[in-house]
Amino acid sequence: MRIASLTDFLLMRIERGADGAIAKAGAAGAPLNRQIYQAIREAILSQLLPSAMQLPSSRDLARELGISRNTVTYAYEQLIAEGYLETRAGSGTFIADTTPDQIPETRLNTPPLTDPSGESELSAHGAQLIQQAGVSDLQWGAFMPGVPDVTLFPNKIWSRLQNKHWRRSRADLLTYGDAGGYLPLREAIAEYLRMARSVNCNASQVIITTGIHQSLDIVVKLLGEHGDSAWVEDPCYWGTRSVLNSLGIKPVAIPVDAEGMRMRLANLRQPPRFICATPSHQYPLGMVMSLSRRRMLLEYAARRKVWIIEDDYDSEFRYGSRPLASLQGMDTDGRVLYMGTFSKTMFPSLRIGFMVVPESLANAFAIGVSELYRGSQVFMQAIMADFMTEGHFASHIRRMRLLYAERLQLLQAAIDRHFGDGVTLTGGEAGLHLALGLPAQCDDLAISRAARAAGIVARPLSRYYMNSEAARNGLLLGYACVPNEQIAPAFDKLAAIIKAHWN
């Protein structure tokens, strides 16, 4: 069945007031532009609107619906940003072709993981973990990636909320936490994710953890077996590989291109147990996974009973473009486990993260987290809940987004002043860092070591790759925790080191 009239279709789905007129916001608080966006999006995903179909102009549709043209324009622009619609110069707006690639049916057995033999008192997993560790002894300053500017955190507001809870002296905040975490915080997170990230969830599906590492740890322990495999983006966050290796899960490197994970036929024939992805902002290169790739992953996971682990890394900080909806929000088969953390939006030592799991797993995960880790930071979770419900969290993100955008521009200007078009930059549309690509003759590891001796952190990009033959040389440069006036002088020092290793 196909839609004959988009106007009639929308009129049947837009909420109305008691007088029958179209309401500016629905009963659930969804703005009118959001209702139009969701209705068209769902029609495309259910193939009620076929690819290549031309839509009415924003002016015509607004007139037929009797609403503001800006309302329709917003919905169209968001759908275009997410890949559902496309514009053709001089022709109009059309439904984009988002049909996923064909998925082969052939299944091959995945070889079991063979543990390396340990030669010290460390276990094989322990020796591998230490050898491949990516943790740094310096966690602040130019150009440490992934660290927010904690000096601008609203300490007075946080102290007021903290003092309020201390005065109440509630015993339930000083003992072991409830299974799954402090309920008011789970409710606040669920509401935030529904509105900001299009995550489909309720509070019971939100599980509080200490961060991405613990979230990944509990997922693998409850859903995986020793010897299972996991697809990981190549390059990827070193912590993901470390956790997987420590639990006996074999990481399988999947290269990335401009559309995100690039699955090959050989990969698809050997289904993993897990697929670890950062679809909204690939780490460390920064690209966004295309809609076609997202749909392919979801269909593949549903058909092969694979679990997708979505790390929504840095989704709050986008510069010059709207945040894209989560992969979990597209999942209709309950195969996505969504993960997030407050380390980048608040401060790293807070150590509060969260997962959103399918409803069928919510009770098991709540019990599992409580059984293995006994709950933690209940007092801090209570403060965080108040911080969110009183609106301070959203205000803080808005302020920091503006500041980080300014610092990104300062760093880009410093790089351009020294190298112009001689280097490549990726990841500059979102997040807290960018990747500076270097020529093949530049040893990024040697540059990183020389920079560290000069008091500058510049992580070597090549170390984030599993496949050394495909590794690109470059540096990860974080700018969020560098004061504006220090960015140019710090890069001047780093540029001198890079030039010394150029030939």
- Averaged confidence pLDDT in the chain: 88
**Domains parsed from the chain with CATH numbers:** 6-95 (1.10.10.10), 155-390 (3.40.640.10), 395-501 (3.90.1150.10)
pTM, two decimal places: 0.82
Backbone angles phi, psi at 88, to 5 degrees: -125, 125
Q: What is the pLDDT of residue 129?
A: 65
Residue 95's DSSP bridge partners are 85
Torsion of CA 28, 32, 38, 44, to 10 degrees: 150
Query: pLDDT tens, 238-294?
Result: 899 999 999 999 999 999 999 999 988 888 999 999 999 999 999 999 999 999 999
Query: pLDDT tens, 372-411?
Result: 988 778 899 999 999 999 999 999 999 999 999 999 999 9
Average pLDDT value for residue range 140-164: 91
User: Residue 421 and residue 399: Cα distance in Å, rounded?
Assistant: 32
Residues 201-223 as b/e (b if ≥16 CB within 10 A, e otherwise) read: bebbbbbbbbbbbbbbbbbbeeb
Q: What is the pLDDT of residue 125?
A: 62
Report helix angle 238-246 to 124-131, nearest 10. Answer: 170
Look at residues 176, 181, 177 and name the one whose alpha carbon lies nearest to residue 362. Answer: 181
Residue with tokens 């419900």: 389
Report helix angle 212-223 to 238-246, nearest 10. Answer: 40
pLDDT at 441 exceeding the cut of 70 = yes
Look at residues 197, 177, 174 and name the one whose alpha carbon lies nearest to residue 185. Answer: 177
User: Residue 381 and residue 385: Cα distance in Å, rounded?
Assistant: 6
Band of the pLDDT at 104, cuts 50, 70, 90? low
Which two tokens mark 289?
A: 């996974």
Are 432 and 462 a contacting pair, CB within 8 Å? no
pLDDT at 322 exceeding the cut of 80 = no
User: Residue 426 and residue 428: Cα distance in Å, rounded?
Assistant: 6
**DSSP string of 97-117?**
--PPPP------PPPPP-PPP
Band of the pLDDT at 24, cuts 50, 70, 90? low
Query: pLDDT tens, 176-207?
Result: 778 899 999 999 999 999 998 999 999 999 99
Residue with tokens 């530049």: 442
User: Residue 269 and residue 108: Cα distance in Å, rounded?
Assistant: 6
User: Residue 484 and residue 495: Cα distance in Å, rounded?
Assistant: 17
**DSSP string of 37-48?**
HHHHHHHHHTTS
pLDDT at 143 exceeding the cut of 60 = yes
Residue 162 makes CB contacts below 8 A (sequence gap 6+) with 383
Average pLDDT value for residue range 132-157: 81
Average pLDDT value for residue range 349-366: 95
Q: What is the pLDDT of residue 199?
A: 95
